Structure 1
Amino acid sequence: MLLDFTKPDILENDDFKRLVKYEVLWNFSRYHSSIQDTPVWKTLKTRAKTDKGTLIERLKQATIVKATTPWQVRKVIEYYSTEEDYLIISAWADYVSTLDFQPLDSNVATIFVTIYTASELDSLFENVFHILEADEEDGAIRYPLLNSVTDAEQKLATLTNSLFNEILRF
């Protein structure tokens, strides 16, 4: 089934939610690869054919429960985005953090891979870490970011090994 990104209820569509979840797995499996895809957030933003205000409102309506987006995500988005982009990217982060099942769990890294490509993430981390060096929050942001990437990569490795072991059993 093809997804129609222009429909107002796209964010409630189970196929769209699965797309977000699979993209997290896909992007982490290729995180250190030179081949990168457009994150689902950018695809939605481009293909929704609506203004930012309407998209923010749709994201808020689709966020079923109170968002539990880690504060580190908000802080990094704040440093890395314009004020206008901050509102819409924050609404997206809230939406992604409330999806019911993430194979790699919902953490700072899995939220970011739905927004940025790996090279953008590397640049983002480098820029934000540079800005934060003089800030007392540096360690409180840097280490959770780095740990979340490591954690997601380890979970991916475990899932991959389990899958191969299951295949070998047959």
Structure 2
Amino acid sequence: MAQSVVDHADKVAVRELVDNLTNGNKNVQSDYIKVLYEIGERKPALISNYVKEFLALLESKNNRLVWGSMTALDTITLEDPETIYSGLPAIVGATNSGSVIARDHAVSILTKMVTIRKYEKTAFKLLIEQLKTCPTNQLPMYAENAMRIVNNDNRKMFMNTLSSRMRSIEKLSKRRRVEHVIKKLG
């Protein structure tokens, strides 16, 4: 369905999908949020007008809607960074109560926001907080993905944050991945 909506740039279908995210039937909600983030993966501009609706769903009791909305937000971060920036408190808040998938996409959103000069400092601080508190099994992936946003201004803080987590990483393969990031940036 997502591909068909994208192929036809069907804004009416997108609006209908968004409207049904508050449908009383959780199966409908789950199906529609999946279609929406799949549309976002293919053509972010088609869903970028609905940032506020996705942000509102981060407070849902339906965890599927929370991580689905976070996935959708991740796909449209660079389409509407200003609205995403205003929603950072909700995005970061959802990482504390949401699933691993929600956190993965929140970290991805923060990493993208760091690439925008206007939001770089705030987004980087929030990213560092995520790196300090994320589960150790997620840290290597986050470090590898964020490596591209490290520059001379933030390198020291990034590397210090990773170094401070090394002792808590029990699995050798995960520790080696983080060590590799530190070595590559050093």
Q: Please confirm whether the aligned pair reaches a TM-score higher than 0.5, indicating the same fold.
A: no
Between structures 1 and 2, the one with greater helix share: 2
Query: Which is greater in Rg?
Result: 2
Normalised to the residue count of structure 1, the TM-score between the two structures is: 0.34
Bigger relative contact order, structure 1 or 2 (CA pairs below 8 A, ≥6 apart): 1
